[in-house]
């Protein structure tokens, strides 16, 4: 294949893509850089990822490596932003911090080139600076890059606001409502989380998502609840749960095995939110949906019993 | 004279298959309990044969069929169930019908364990073990085999012990190595068996029952409730009496029958199912890289149901045959 025909950038459709992808895409678009996404998740991608990733790592990281694999040889450089922190108290899970280096190491013999965008405010590279350097590395001026980042972060904020708005409309609908909380990259993943959402919808539940909330609002809500919640994404999830819970009849906490941050926040939510049915669901590489379906079905029955609309 | 309505409930678990036939007033007309033996279809056919002998078709007609248990989908499509319900709901409905004042239902089966909390006769919360089968009937069976006794005898052994051995109960694999160590150290067999029973109860309270307020009256059911050693251990740990219903093993099936009665769907159930030939076939769709495992069920060579496909591409065609 002629190398010049390949897109300049490949983006793995996994992990933080589901939370910050709009930012990355808009940034590249503003600069006129061609990019391509990896295909939607599937069992095949997860199987490849499981073979490639360290076996003790979380399901999402395995899925991520599978996505990287589909891009190898199909783009000039694979973009893996390194999200470390926004400051001394605003941290990201170490998984995201290590993704770029881990992927480069796993695919070291493939000849594939990688590029990162290093968001590490503690070491002099806050988000604005990180994207500026990223743009420069792509061959643009610092000024062009800064402008592209400004446009992109506006786009991300708008996207989150729009999601919040459409959920507000959903929450006003009548009927049984279930709030589903978890990392966006689990809930929105067509192989991992979507079957759960589909199962809820086909059972007649209105599904609200904790991550459909603008980041700042969510983190403020979380700070009141637990001032020591460690990771930014956990704060967003906890804050989202607190924000939406009044509208819901029950909460489902979805996490992938073994997620360290979730093991803390889910326990926190279960202990603190008394008087509300909560179902923790842990996903792993099992391909059968039977265990998950049984749990969701009976959870909805419990809610129906409480609402008094059980036959 | 027109026949009276009856309702069949079938509960197919990993280890045992249960069924009841109830009348409109929840009185049991027929009941049966057999081993699944890894063959849910065969078990159900055998079960229906046994039920038919207890059933009087002159005065009763089965108009509703409920299926529950881990094989509910499969069995539901074979018997033409009017209601297919998960085992938690079925157990909650069955138990609250016979014990209206119950507050906590403990259930330990062959592969899974659950806790259901009830307030004013309504299930308000539940929890289930994670996908790991630690501390369930399967664990007791394998430990009984290791100790060279029948699993049914374990309870009696346990009751003779005055000093149950401490067994680490966090995980079946750890529990097993701890148990072997204690055997080799010379702990008496009764104490070890009592320790295993205790381990099952404390493991349950610390995992499935974690953070749940267990209020009396407590009803304990599922296959493991037949083990008096575990019942005793629960009473000690919870500090309250634990009720084991003689029909505790039938609660899931009873709940399924009651749900069939409450639902408005009606059928004319026919015992001839037991003479039909059912075949299941698993095929990998191959339409995309999800490669879904689609299960197809055939009655006398004709497709009657399928599941497991994530999208339309995996849908089975009615002209597919069981033997490709």
Smallest CA–CA separation between B161 and chain A, in Å?
A: 37
CA distance, residue B70 to nearest chain A CA (Å): 8
Chain A residues with beta carbon closer than 8 angstroms to that of B131 = 282, 284, 286, 291
**Chain A contact residues (CB < 8 Å to B):** 42-45, 191, 195, 270-271, 277, 282, 284, 286-288, 290-291, 294-295, 297-299, 301-302, 305-306, 311
Nearest CA in chain A to B130: A282
Mean pLDDT over each residue of chain A, to the nearest integer: 90
Q: Are B124 and A297 within 8 A, CB to CB?
A: no
CA proximity to B172, closest of B149, B214, B204, B194: B204
Nearest residue in A to B73, CA atom: A290
Residue A250: closest C-alpha in chain B: B125
- Over the stretch A196-221, which tens digit does the pLDDT of each residue have? 998 898 888 999 999 988 888 999 99
What element of type H or E holds A24? helix A17-31
Largest alpha-carbon pair distance within chain A? 66
Q: Which DSSP symbol is given to B313?
A: G
For B47, the 3-state DSSP assignment is helix
User: What's the confidence (pLDDT) of residue B3?
Assistant: 87
Domains within chain A, CATH numbers bracketed: 3-154 (3.40.50), 173-307 (3.40.50.11900)
Q: Considering only CB atoms, which chain A residues are within 8 Å of B64?
A: none
Q: Which of A294, A299, A306, A307 to mutate to test the interface with B (most CBs of B within 10 A)?
A: A294
Percent of chain A at pLDDT exceeding 90: 60
- Cβ–Cβ below 8 Å for B124 and A290: no
In Å, how far is A297's CA from the nearest CA of chain B?
A: 7
Backbone dihedral angles phi then psi of residue B42, each to the nearest 5 degrees:
-60, -40
Q: So what's the pLDDT on residue B134?
A: 64
Q: Are A176 and A205 in contact (CB under 8 A)?
A: yes
pLDDT for B122 equals 81
For residue A195, which residues of chain B lie inside 8 Å, CB to CB?
A: 310
Chain B residues whose CB is inside 8 A of the A306 CB are 122, 124
Query: B290, A44: Cβ pair inside 8 Å?
Result: yes
The pLDDT of A42-71, averaged and rounded, is 92
Helices (H), B149-290: 154-159, 172-184, 189-206, 228-238, 251-262
Provide the residue count of chain B.
324
Q: Count CB atoms within 10 A of the CB of residue B37.
A: 12
Of B70, B123, B128, Cβ closest to residue A295: B128
Of residues B122, B259, B290, nearest to A191 (C-beta):
B290
Determine the pLDDT at residue A1: 45
Q: Given a cut of 90, is residue A258 above it in pLDDT?
A: no
pLDDT tens digit sequence for A146-160:
999 999 999 999 998
Q: Give the chain A residue nearest B116 (alpha carbons).
A: A302
Ranges of residues in chain B whose predicted pLDDT is under 50: none
**Best CA proximity match to A9, nearest among A66, A62, A74, A61:** A74
The verdict on domain B4-92+252-275 having CATH code 1.10.3720.10 is no
Best residue in B95, B97, B123, B289 to probe A by mutation, most A CBs within 10 Å? B289
Residue A191: its chain B contacts at CB < 8 A? Answer: 290
Token pair in block for residue B25: 């007033």
Three-state helix/strand/coil letters over chain B: CCCEEEEEEEEECCCEEEEEEEECCCCEEEEEEEECCCCHHHHHHHHHHHHHHHCCCCCEEEEEEEEECCCHHHHHHHHCCCEECCHHHHHHHHHHHHCCCCCEEEEECCCCEEEEEEECCEEEEEEECCCCCCCCHHHHHHHHHHHCCCHHHHHHHHHCCCCCCCCCCCCHHHHHHHHHHHHHCCCCHHHHHHHHHHHHHHHHHHCCCCCCCCCCCEEEECHHHHCHHHHHHHHHHHCCCEECCCCHHHHHHHHHHHHHHHCCCCCCCCHHHHHCCEEEEEEECCCCCCCCEEEEEEECCEEEEEECCCCHHHCCCCCCCCCC
Q: What is the pLDDT of residue A287?
A: 54
Considering only the beta carbons, identify the residue of B70, B89, B211 that sits closest to A271: B211
Chains A & B: contacts with CB separation below 8 Å: 61
Mutation target for B interface from A190, A289, A301: give the one with most B CBs within 10 A.
A301
Contact A302 B123 (CB under 8 A): yes
> Which chain B residues have a beta carbon less than 8 Å from that of A305?
92, 122-124
Q: Do A306 and B122 touch (CB under 8 A)?
A: yes
Which run of H or of E encompasses A241?
helix A232-244
Q: How many residues does chain A have?
A: 311
The yes-or-no verdict on residue A3 having pLDDT over 70 is no
Instruction: Answer yes or no: do B70 and A195 touch at CB < 8 A.
Output: no
Q: Are B88 and A298 in contact (CB under 8 A)?
A: yes
Q: Tell me, what's the pLDDT at A4?
A: 60
> Bridge partners of B65?
B8
| Minimal C-alpha gap between A191 and chain B (Å) | 8
Selecting from B122, B125, B130 the residue whose C-beta is nearest the C-beta of A277 gives B125
Residue A125: pLDDT over 50: yes
Interface test with chain A among B73, B85, B123, by most A beta carbons within 10 Å:
B123
Task: Give the mean model confidence (pLDDT) for residues A280-309.
Answer: 79
Buried b (16+ CB within 10 A) or exposed e, B277-306: ebebbebebebbbbbbbbbbbbbeeebebb
Q: Contact A294/B87, CB-based, under 8 Å?
A: yes
**Per-domain residue ranges of chain B:** 4-92+252-275, 100-244, 278-314
Class of domain B100-244: alpha beta
CB contact under 8 Å between B131 and A287, yes or no, is no
Is-cis flag, bond preceding A258, omega within 30? yes
Q: Do the domains B4-92+252-275 and B100-244 sit in the same CATH topology, yes or no?
A: yes
Mean pLDDT over residues A109-125, rounded? 95
Query: Is A301's CB within 8 Å of B290's CB?
Result: no
CA-based torsion, B66, B127, A236, A257: positive or negative: negative
Residue among B11, B9, B60 nearest B36 (CA): B11
What are the tokens at A281? 């669901």
Closest-CA distance of chain A to residue B8, Å: 17
pLDDT digits (tens, 9 = 90+) for A11-23: 999 999 999 999 9
Rg (CA), chain B: 21
Minimum Cα–Cα distance from A280: chain B residue: B127
Q: Which residues on A lie below 8 Å from B124 (Cβ)?
A: 277, 302, 305-306
Nearest C-alpha in B relative to A269: B211
């Amino acid at each position: 294949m002629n190398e010049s025909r390949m897109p300049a950038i490949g983006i793995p459709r996994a992990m933080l893509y589901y939370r910050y992808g709009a930012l990355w895409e808009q940034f590249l678009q503003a600069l006129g850089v061609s990019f391509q996404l990896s295909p939607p998740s599937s069992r095949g991608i997860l199987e490849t990822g499981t073979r490639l990733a360290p076996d003790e790592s979380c399901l999402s990281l395995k899925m991520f490596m599978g996505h990287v694999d589909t891009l190898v040889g199909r783009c000039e450089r694979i973009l893996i932003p390194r999200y470390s922190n926004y400051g001394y108290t605003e941290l990201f899970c170490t998984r995201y911090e290590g993704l770029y280096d881990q992927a480069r190491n796993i695919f070291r013999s493939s000849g594939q080139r990688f590029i990162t965008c290093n968001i590490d405010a503690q070491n002099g590279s806050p988000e604005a600076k990180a994207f500026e350097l990223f743009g420069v590395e792509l061959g643009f001026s610092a000024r062009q890059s800064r402008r592209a980042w400004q446009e992109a972060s506006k786009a991300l904020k708008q996207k989150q606001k729009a999601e919040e708005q459409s959920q507000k409309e959903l929450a006003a609908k009548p009927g049984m409502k279930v709030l589903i909380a978890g990392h966006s990259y689990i809930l929105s993943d067509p192989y991992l989380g979507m079957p759960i959402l589909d199962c809820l919808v086909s059972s007649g539940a209105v599904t609200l998502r904790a991550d459909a909330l603008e980041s700042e609002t969510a983190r403020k809500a979380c700070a009141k609840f637990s001032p020591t919640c460690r990771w930014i994404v956990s704060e967003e999830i906890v804050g989202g749960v607190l924000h939406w819970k009044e509208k819901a009849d029950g909460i489902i906490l979805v996490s992938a095995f073994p997620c360290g941050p979730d093991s803390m926040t889910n326990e926190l939510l279960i202990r603190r939110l008394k008087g509300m049915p909560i179902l923790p669901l842990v996903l792993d590489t099992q391909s059968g949906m039977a265990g998950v379906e049984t749990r969701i079905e009976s959870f909805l029955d419990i809610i129906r019993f409480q609402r008094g609309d059980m036959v | 004279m027109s026949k009276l309505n009856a309702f069949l409930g079938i509960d197919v678990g990993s280890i045992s298959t249960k069924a009841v036939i109830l009348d409109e007033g929840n009185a049991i007309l027929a009941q049966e309990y057999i081993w699944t033996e890894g063959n849910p279809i065969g078990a159900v056919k055998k079960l229906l044969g046994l039920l038919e002998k207890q059933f009087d078709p002159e005065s009763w007609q089965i108009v509703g069929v409920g299926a529950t248990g881990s094989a509910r989908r499969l069995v539901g499509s074979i018997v033409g169930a009017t209601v297919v319900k998960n085992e938690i709901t079925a157990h909650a409905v069955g138990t609250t019908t016979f014990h209206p004042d119950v507050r906590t239902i403990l259930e330990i089966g062959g592969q899974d364990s659950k806790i259901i909390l009830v307030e004013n006769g309504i299930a308000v919360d539940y929890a289930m073990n994670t996908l790991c089968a630690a501390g369930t009937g399967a664990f007791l069976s394998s430990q009984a085999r290791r100790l060279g006794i029948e699993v049914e005898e374990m309870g009696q052994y346990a009751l003779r012990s005055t000093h149950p051995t401490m067994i680490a109960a966090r995980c079946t694999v750890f529990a097993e190595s701890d148990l072997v160590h204690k055997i080799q150290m010379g702990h008496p067999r009764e104490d070890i068996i009592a320790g295993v029973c205790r381990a099952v109860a404390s493991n349950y309270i610390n995992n499935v029952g974690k953070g749940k307020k267990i209020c009396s009256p407590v009803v304990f059911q599922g296959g493991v409730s037949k083990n008096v050693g575990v019942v005793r251990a629960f009473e000690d740990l919870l500090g309250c009496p634990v009720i084991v219903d003689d029909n505790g093993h039938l609660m899931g099936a009873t709940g399924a029958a009651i749900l069939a009665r409450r639902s408005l769907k009606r059928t004319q159930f026919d015992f001839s199912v037991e003479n039909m030939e059912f075949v299941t076939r698993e095929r990998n769709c191959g339409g995309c890289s999800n490669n879904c495992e689609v299960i197809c069920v055939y009655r006398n060579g004709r497709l009657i149901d399928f599941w497991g496909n994530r999208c339309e591409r995996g849908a089975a065609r009615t002209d597919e045959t069981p033997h490709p």
